Structure 1
Amino acid sequence: MAMASFARRKASLLLSKNLCNSSDALRYSLSLTSFSRGFSSGSDENDVVVIGGGPGGYVAAIKAAQLGLKTTCIEKRGTLGGTCLNVGCIPSKALLHSSHMYHEAKHSFASHGVKFPSVEVDLPAMMAQKDKAVTNLTRGIEGLFKKNKVNYVKGYGKFISSSEVSVDSLEGGNTVVKGKNIIIATGSDVKSLPGITIDEKRIVSSTGALALSEIPKKLVVIGAGYIGLEMGSVWGRLGSEVTVVEFASEIVPTMDGEVRKQFQRTLEKQKMKFLLKTKVVSVDSSGDGVRLTLEPAAGGEQSTLEADVVLVSAGRTPFTAGLGLDKIGVETDKVGRILVNERFTTNVPGVYAIGDVIPGPMLAHKAEEDGVACVEFIAGKEGHVDYNLVPGVVYTHPEVASVGKTEEQVKALGVDYRVGKFPFLANSRAKAIDDAEGVVKILAEKETDRILGVHIMAPNAGELIHEAVLALHYGASSEDIARTCHAHPTMSEAVKEAAMATYDKPIHI
């Protein structure tokens, strides 16, 4: 580690604190009274009860059991892993990979000297591979529950008091689960749009888009966020004509503006069409296809758009329906998120909430961190999640990954900064494998060189970003990364070169 860099970082600790405090994503803590409860020793009462077996819930349950707490996890789906594993992150990544393999075989293999007469899609086999991955992983979590002695109850749970949950079993009947501490980890659900009825056949959510029985000729995606672009990418690679309709003026609004523009151009080169600043007035599926009526977001003349399938991807909303939160007086905000303090405690003593049901990014890895920290607090330890440093990834090809602040956010804070960029066109590994579209962009505080944000568009950007996540966690400077030896030839050398460009000059461009 460069000594000058260490001195600069030491001088920037106050700045770091101010930057964190100013971030919208840091914490949504309330002035609530923290409440400590003793652990149960009775055979019929749990130390911890977790409602929800998704990434936040099952991780919390396992961690609680590892800390020696008697734990029960209640899951209504009947399979563990939540939306992420069953109908979200995992199956979508399976299809993204399979569709990418097909696209590469059809368009790129020949240039690498791999030729064959024809290539075709076997959609049932592709779906079967996806389903196999999901099944194996859900069973794996059940195995982890058994290994860690977590009691697993399959059914729909709802509060009857702050220490009791009534469960309608999937097998019939009802049971009451008691707990000294109860964690709400019920995740989120698809956000619907007014006047649009999702039937999961021709008008689908992400769930239906993961299970289409045939490749639509024309697919319209409503919403240009992470999920919409990923699912549009899957079906676009398989042959669908994809049009993305977005009310806002840009795609993925949380993304760094410069990277976003390059990302959109890349998707357009992949034949994805965008109708930005456009409102969906209505969707009619009464005929053979689906007809959308559109108009400019600011108002104006209407137009129509035909599709075989419409994917509604307008975001997600906290899932708290039927939990009985009102019965025990748990406070929520105007959009239904449960309000918690820095220890994940609600206003009701002994009741906690984590993941998608509380404010913050609706990401599986964020929910996992919440779950661990929450249980550590319950066990009398100190939990911690830094919400400024939760990485985000769009799993298209190329991927886009980021951590920390965008250039727009840094400007808004009034911080003097430097920018370093390095294109993958100048990266030897990317050129060798003929997959060189993308860039690394690093933002650093001008006086101290402390890294403020890193944005990567590249194949496997979701893997490359974690060097940056670790660097930001330790308050590293761009010079620290630049002076760290990176193996050659690797894609990660582009991160090193971008760091060199931030504090000085890159070598290979």
Structure 2
Amino acid sequence: MARFDFIVLGAGPAGRRAAIQAAKLGKSVVVVDDRAKVGGVSVHTGTIPSKTLRETALNLSGWRERAFYGQGYRTRATICSDDLDQRIGKTFDYEVAVLEHQFARNGVQTIAGRGYFKGPQEIAIKRDLGGSEIEEVIEGEKILISVGTRPYRPAHIPFNKTNVFDSDSFILQPQMPSSLTVVGGGVIGLEYATIFSALDIPVTLIEPNEQLLPFMDKEIVDHLVQSMRERGMCLRLGCSLSYVHFSEKGDPICQLADGRLIGSKMVLFAAGREGSTSSLNLEAAGLALNPEARGRLQVDRTTFQTEVPHIYAAGDVIGFPSLASTSMEQGRAVACHAFGEPISADDQAPPYGVYAVPELSSVGMTEADAGEAGIPYECGLARFKETSRGHIMGLEAGILKLICHRETRKLIGVHVVGEGASDLVHIGQAVLNLGGTIDYFVENSFNYPTLAEGYKVAALDLWNRLQVSPVDENKKTQAPPKPKQSGRKKKAA
């Protein structure tokens, strides 16, 4: 039986970062993944292909230039499925090659096969070799579960990989339907809905909650919703899906709980994901799942240990925030803790990014967060279309919002919606996590013209608002002072 210091189940962002970190500490490491190529969900069906699809759609459709040349402007007159798939394929090959090189350079072994527990420290791997299945067993001192998630597929939805898809099958064979219904207004559903709307495909979005993206600041989400409505997207918020049936022509029809029918050529069901843990035989390792957790594991959020101390879990399989960026940092923390290296306290606010059209990104507190915490706060705004760079780029949508503590002027929240939001937010992230105030933006120069100049515009807006003195509670009920008489009136008297 082969023995390793560290066995990693899953080659996604958390798994690969943990594996490379452990290897740099001089440990023997093996990564087990059931796909033929490394990368996990992030590279195969998640982050990388969906963001590549977004960029392809915006480039081919001429979306970014329409403010100047009109809504009828197109970079390419016709766009087909092959156009979308070609760029996704090239990006996928590049990402896999980079990861394979990183593993090889750091001495990380990889095994393609389905891994599962045979005991607390034993992992069995089933592999297909020449048409016959073989099983080998390896042993690890420390084990990381980073298998990610898969789409939630309720039994009453007739998935068929023809015109009713989940998010994984949808991106594996991207198509250009004449109309699309997206069920689920979370991050994944919202991204795909707005991407295909940018391709001038009629899109209907069904979401049971009244508010989209409740974890983000309401004002920037409302800005996104307004943009979606202005370009003709049909939003069915506060509506739940009862079932999907088919017309005589075979087209899917969504039946809503309130009796309304929504017909389209294609349905994408993107209402949630679940942990890919059902095949891991967790019981053999002494691990138990919460039936209500949809396959996700509970861990100590500092060390990422499960209830079995030598077994760790990280990434999407442990739930929110389910971001590739945070998953990577979790994986690094796992490797450090497992092999006695110090890990930094997780006290810094991470940025969130939603790659819709337009994209959204935020870090720190929302207005609702500040209100619930009883923090006296003030907000400042900059509108992209009012900046020189925004005008040059033809941006009609986009705002940058800063939230600061009214008394200390410390920056406590940054929220951006519009072109480049996921890049712009990092300027605010640095100031916020270093404990800076809005004075940084007021007193420093920004390249001109840039969208980053919006930080100075928003900070100056904030500065102006902070000059208004709050009402003195002790004087609130006193009668206002009588106006003084002018010298002229006194003289006349």
Q: TM-score range by the shorter chain?
A: 0.7 to 0.9
- Tell me the SS of whatever aligns to 1:173: strand
Listed one character per residue, the Cα deviations across residues 418-444 of structure 1 (whole Å, up to 9, x for unaligned) are: 111111122110111212421111111
AA at the equivalent of 1:337 = R
1:346 and 1:352 in contact (8 A); partners too: yes
Who is 2:484 aligned against? none
Match of 2:78 among 92, 117, 120: 120
Question: Is 2:433 aligned against 1:476?
Answer: no
Q: Which secondary structure does the structure 2 equivalent of 1:248 belong to?
A: coil
> Which residue does the alignment assign to 1:191?
152
Give the conservation status (yes or no) of the 8 Å contact 1:217–1:239. no
Structure 1: how far apart are the matches of 2:451 and 2:261?
Answer: 44
Change (3 A) 1:170 1:235: farther
Asked if 1:314 is matched to 2:271, the reply is yes
State yes or no: 1:289 paired with 2:251: yes
Distance 2:447 2:204 in 1: 40
Q: Which consecutive unaligned segments of at least 5 residues does structure 1 have?
A: 1-42, 297-301
Deviation at 1:68, TM superposition (A): 1.1
1:232 counterpart (193, 207, 211): 193
AA aligned opposite 2:208: F
Residues 20-52 of structure 1 deviation map (CA, whole Å, 9 limit, x = unaligned): xxxxxxxxxxxxxxxxxxxxxxx9321111000
Question: What is the CA distance between 1:106 and its match in structure 2?
Answer: 9.6
Tell me by how many angstroms 1:500 deviates: 2.6
After superposing on structure 2, the runs of 4+ consecutive aligned residues of structure 1 that deviate more than 4 Å are 114-118
Deviations 1:250-282 (A, max 9, x none): 222222111111110011122211001111111
Contact 2:387 2:454 in 1 (8 A): yes
Is the aligned partner of 1:461 residue 2:421? yes
Flag the 1:327–1:495 CA change in 2: closer, same or farther, 3 A. Answer: same
Query: Counterpart in 1 of 2:401?
Result: 441
- Cα distance 1:170–1:370, how it changes in 2: closer, same or farther (>3 A)? farther
Equivalence for 1:221: 182
For 2:314, give the aligned amino acid: I
Tell me: higher relative CO, structure 1 or 2? Use CA pairs within 8 A at least 6 residues apart.
1
> What letter matches 1:54 in structure 2?
G
Rounded to whole Å, the distance in 1 between the matches of 2:98 and 2:246 is 40
Which residue, 299, 305, 308 being the options, matches 1:340? 299
Instruction: Answer yes or no: is the 8 Å Cα contact 1:436–1:458 preserved in 2.
Output: no
For residues 50 and 168 of structure 2, the distance between their equivalents in structure 1, rounded to whole angstroms, comes to: 9
Residues 157-306 of structure 1 mapped to structure 2, 5 A cutoff:
157-171=115-129, 172-212=133-173, 214-285=175-246, 287=248, 288-296=250-258, 302-306=259-263
Instruction: Check if 1:92 corresponds to 2:50.
Output: yes
Quote how far apart the aligned CAs of 1:181 are: 0.4
Shift of 1:150: 0.1
Mapped contact 2:181–2:203 kept (Cα < 8 A): yes
Which SS does the other structure have where 1:293 is aligned? strand
Conservation of the 8 A alpha-carbon contact between 1:154 and 1:170: no
In 1, Cα distance between equivalents of 2:244 and 2:213: 23
In 2, Cα distance between equivalents of 1:281 and 1:243: 16
**Pairing partner for 2:108 from 150, 157, 162:** 150
Percent identity among equivalent residues?
27
- 1:168-224 deviation line (CA, Å, top 9, x unaligned): 124331111211000110111112235113222211111232244641112000011
2:387 is equivalent to residue 430 of structure 1: no
What CA distance in whole angstroms lies between the structure 1 residues aligned with 2:116 and 2:162?
Answer: 31
Please give the residue correspondences for 1:380-419 in structure 2 after superposition, counting only pairs within 5 Å: 380-384=340-344, 386=346, 389-419=349-379
> Distance in 1 between the 2:445 and 2:275 partners?
44
Q: Where does residue 19 of structure 1 map in the other structure?
A: none
Question: Secondary structure in 2 aligned to 1:440?
Answer: strand
Greater shift after overlay, 366-375 or 201-210? 201-210
Contact conserved, 2:2 with 2:137, CA < 8 A, in 1?
Answer: no
Aligned to 2:483: none
Number of the residue aligned with 1:10? none
Q: Which runs of 5+ in 2 are unaligned?
A: 467-493
Q: Residue 497 of structure 1 aligns with which residue? A: 457
Cα–Cα, structure 1 residues 344 and 270, in superposed 2: closer, same or farther, change >3 Å?
same
Partner of 1:23: none
Instruction: Output the CA distance in 2 between the equivalents of 1:286 and 1:115.
Output: 34
231-240 or 364-373: bigger deviation? 231-240
Conservation of the 8 A alpha-carbon contact between 1:401 and 1:461: yes
Q: Look up the SS of the partner of 1:393 in the other structure.
A: strand
Shift in Å, 1:109: 8.4
CA RMSD for the aligned pairs? Answer: 2.3
Task: Tell me how far apart the structure 1 counterparts of residues 86 and 378 of structure 2 sit (CA, whole Å).
Answer: 48
Structure 2 length-normalised TM: 0.88
Q: 1:504 to 1:471 in 2, by over 3 A?
A: same
Q: Counterpart of 2:322 in 1: which secondary structure?
A: coil
Amino acid across the alignment from 2:297: I
Q: Structure 1 length as normaliser, TM-score? A: 0.85
